[in-house]
Chain A
Amino acid sequence: MKIAIASGKGGTGKTTLSTNLAAFMSQFGQVVLADLDVEEPNSGLFINGELIHQEDTYKMIPEWDKSRCELCGNCQAVCNFNAVLQMGKTIMVFPQLCHGCYACSELCPTGSLPMKQKKMGELRSFRADNLSLVESRLIVGEEQAVPLIRQTIDFVDTNFSEEVTQIFDAPPGTSCPVIEATRDADLVVLITEPTPFGLHDLKLAVETIRQLEKKFVVVVNRHGIGDDGVDHYCREENIRVIARIPNDRKIAETYSRGELLYPTIPAVRSAVETIADYIGEFKRELK
């Protein structure tokens, strides 16, 4: 079963919830946490596992073979992303701009742009008892997160059975990366803050997830701060709020040290327990 933790904006507690939930649930069974926020992966800062696997991840980009090239300029003409340019007698390829569509390569009359592997990031897998963490990290300057997210999910699919609880820490926002990260999920947990910013971004996230026709629920973080706008909205829209994590400076301090919260903060433990129970129930229904 796959559960994606997502939010419209960053900094609402996605990583906090993902790491605490994954660690908590691993006390009772196998859990894998996949950090799909590949531009800024932070889950690993909270989970101290043993590194068990590491690999470079690649995307396919064209590489110029000048021996056969007739400098016809077709490659530059067919590229919609400015990723291939002809400079005098040279063809230049810009790997960061390339979407890997293969058009320049396959439409080249002389076969002078064969597709080659190019490193775009690194994937690591850690293990701590029943908890596995898979995280991928995009190279700075690399622009397309989606292929790396896809490969990370594929890695999880290949290495863990459907029986294992799979928790995806999704990237923030409402664009392609978050869609890629939630596309396969059985359940999406949206986390938000009870503030005007939180509400505004929650609405965008809800619209996105509804368009994907996914089942979703809401967790309110920093409960007690702000106003009741999020509660009103969820009631009106018939969205279930399954748990509330209280607002507490101690939580912010513990988080700042890169520590898990539920072992030392009872209110977080009880919220995480409630969410885990909900997921357990959901899993039984799914079967």
Chain B
Amino acid sequence: MKIIFTTKGTEWDSAMDPRFGRTEFFLIYDEGTDSVETYDNRAIENEAHGAGPKTAQKLAEYGAEVLITGNGPGGNAAAVLQRTGIEILVGAGDMTVKEAHEAYKAGKLKKV
């Protein structure tokens, strides 16, 4: 199973980015192979409007089953994510990626 985190960096110890649409990076963790991949989303800065759906579109390409983020996507982004059937968990905005993953496994994050 693949889990995607919205992050401010590319490391397991990086801080989570609480934003969805304008997140700086994705960190994609593949549980099956225990491997990590990252995507640099910083070009999203240049979008005046509609950052949310655009980021969601990119995210969808990874075919992950779970998204862990801070406050959660806005309406437009949520509509895109709905099509992918991804499970969205929020409330990890103040954590590191590692902490967010542990909180997820312990069932401490809220489902949207």
List chain A positions with a Cβ less than 8 A from chain B: 81-83, 85-88, 90, 92, 94, 96-97, 141, 143
Asked if B83 contacts A85 (CB within 8 A), the reply is no
Asked if A96 contacts B80 (CB within 8 A), the reply is no
Neighbouring A residues of B83 by C-beta, 8 Å: 87-88, 90, 92
Name B's interface SS: helix
Neighbouring B residues of A96 by C-beta, 8 Å: 75-76
Neighbouring B residues of A82 by C-beta, 8 Å: 47, 49-51, 53-54
Q: Which of A81, A87, A141, A143 has the most CB of B within 10 A?
A: A87
The 3 nearest A-B residue pairs measured at CB: A82-B50, A97-B50, A94-B76
Name A's interface SS: loop
Range for the number of chain B residues in contact with chain A: 10 to 19
List chain B positions with a Cβ less than 8 A from chain A: 47, 49-51, 53-54, 57, 60, 75-76, 79-80, 83-84
Asked if A92 contacts B79 (CB within 8 A), the reply is yes
Of the candidates B49, B50, B57, B76, the one whose C-beta lies within 8 Å of that of A87 is B57
Cα distance A144–B83 in the bound complex, in angstroms: 26
- Contacts A82-B53, A92-B79, A96-B76 given; indicate if A87 touches B47 (C-beta within 8 A): no
Cα distance A141–B77 in the bound complex, in angstroms: 13
Asked if B47 contacts A85 (CB within 8 A), the reply is no
Cα distance A83–B53 in the bound complex, in angstroms: 8
Of the candidates A81, A83, A87, A143, the one whose C-beta lies within 8 Å of that of B60 is A87
Cα distance A141–B51 in the bound complex, in angstroms: 15
